[in-house]
Structure 1
Amino acid sequence: MESSVSICPVPTEQQPVNEYQQLADSYFFGWVRRDLRSYVTKLACVWGLSWLIAGPVAAASFAPQKHLVQFILAGGAGALVFVMLILLRLYLGWSYVSDRLFRKTISYEESGWYDGQTWTKPSEVVTRDRLIVSYQVQPLLQRLKWTFGVIVLFVISGSLIWNFL
């Protein structure tokens, strides 16, 4: 397997397995790889900090002294926008790497955008990359999808509460 990788014409930083490793090692994209408690804590911190922007906007629309429930629901929904943007960025990054790992041929650039090439992976590289997708990346994408689903449930719940006010 090493011989196939060593004759790979793709620049090192554009090889899918190295792109995966970069994402896995990065602080931001590594959030999804953490244990569930740490992952949820990170997202809760983003949501809490987002209240610094969403809270005053919600207070301008719904005075907390008169309409406390509407203020909380509007501020919470506004803060969720930032969480959703973070989750979307995480999903797009991991999805991109998953796609590059899963493909049999990959596109790459030798020195710039004008000289794009494609390379067909040898079968052992395809197998290795697909194992990485199956056992490492797919669970992360699944976690992100579940997180999106939970947030949608929160939004629906908030909407139902809002309708009964």
Structure 2
Amino acid sequence: MIRSSVSNCPVPTDQQPLNEYEELKTSWLFRDCTLNWRQYITKMLWIWGLSWLVAGPVAAASFPAHKNIAHFILCGAAGASIGVVLTLVRLYLGWQYVRDRLYSMTVFYEESGWYDGQTWTKPQEVLTRDRLIVAYDIKPILRRLQFTFAGLAGLLLIGTMVWHLF
């Protein structure tokens, strides 16, 4: 973990926005957003594939594969994409939370419990550092997630149009 360069920072180490960012960046699910595009898409496809374990039987119960293969595949694919959507929402909310904490001029923290919250105003050098991290590290991740949402919505739209053809 990176320690804040400000020695008079009253915020506990684990609640400092920079340390929250470093922790998020190295956690097993959230670090997938920092991979190159090919690796990132591969991870999303793995999640989609694993979601078929639930979506496949549900689709088969509604549209038996031996009778209506097109509807079975489309229904299963749409159902499996729910797992991807839920994962993307979790990733987006986590990165957005850290972005907001880094970008904010003040940091809310708890000293020992929920009942004694305090607010610390960041010095200008800390604020500048944190906003640079937001601009160069976190905004591209959020854009990637937004692009993934848009791509998934486009695929679901295409799937809907194909559904109506059959």
Shorter-chain TM-score: which interval?
over 0.9
**SS of residue matched to 1:113:** coil
Q: Residues 162, 108 of structure 1: CA spacing in aligned structure 2 closer, same or farther, 3 A cutoff?
A: same
Corresponding residue for residue 84 of structure 1: 85
Task: Work out whether residues 4 and 18 of structure 2, in 8 Å CA contact, stay in contact via their aligned partners in 1.
Answer: no
Q: Is the 8 A contact 1:59 1:71 kept in 2?
A: yes
What corresponds to 2:46 in structure 1? 45
Size of the aligned set, in residue pairs, is 164
Q: Would you identify which runs of 4 or more consecutive aligned residues in structure 1 move more than 6 Å?
A: none
CA contact (8 A) 2:10 2:120 kept: yes
CA RMSD, aligned part only? 1.2
Q: Residue 30 of structure 2 aligns to which amino acid in structure 1?
A: F
Judging by fraction of residues, say which structure has more helix.
Answer: 1
The match for 1:139 is 140
* Whole-angstrom distance in 2 between the partners of 1:46 and 1:109: 35
Alpha-carbon deviation of 1:3? Answer: 8.7
Supply the AA of the counterpart residue of 2:89: L
Residue 32 of structure 1 is matched in structure 2 by 33
Please state how far the C-alpha of 1:41 moved relative to its aligned partner: 0.5
- Distance in 1 (CA, whole Å) between partners of 2:160 and 2:5 is 55
Matched ranges for 1:6-155 at <5 A:
6-155=7-156
What is the TM-score normalised by the length of structure 2?
0.97
Structure 1 unaligned segments of length 5 or more: list them: none
List runs of 5+ in structure 2 lacking aligned partners: none
Deviations 1:68-113 (A, max 9, x none): 0000000000000000000100000000000000000110000000
Distance 1:51 1:164, change over 3 A: same
Contact 1:4–1:122 under 8 Å retained in 2: no
Letter in 2 for 1:51: W
CA contact (8 A) 1:24 1:30 kept: yes
- CA distance, structure 2, for counterparts of residue 128 and residue 3 of structure 1: 11
Q: Secondary structure at the match of 1:97?
A: helix
Match of 1:133, SS?
helix
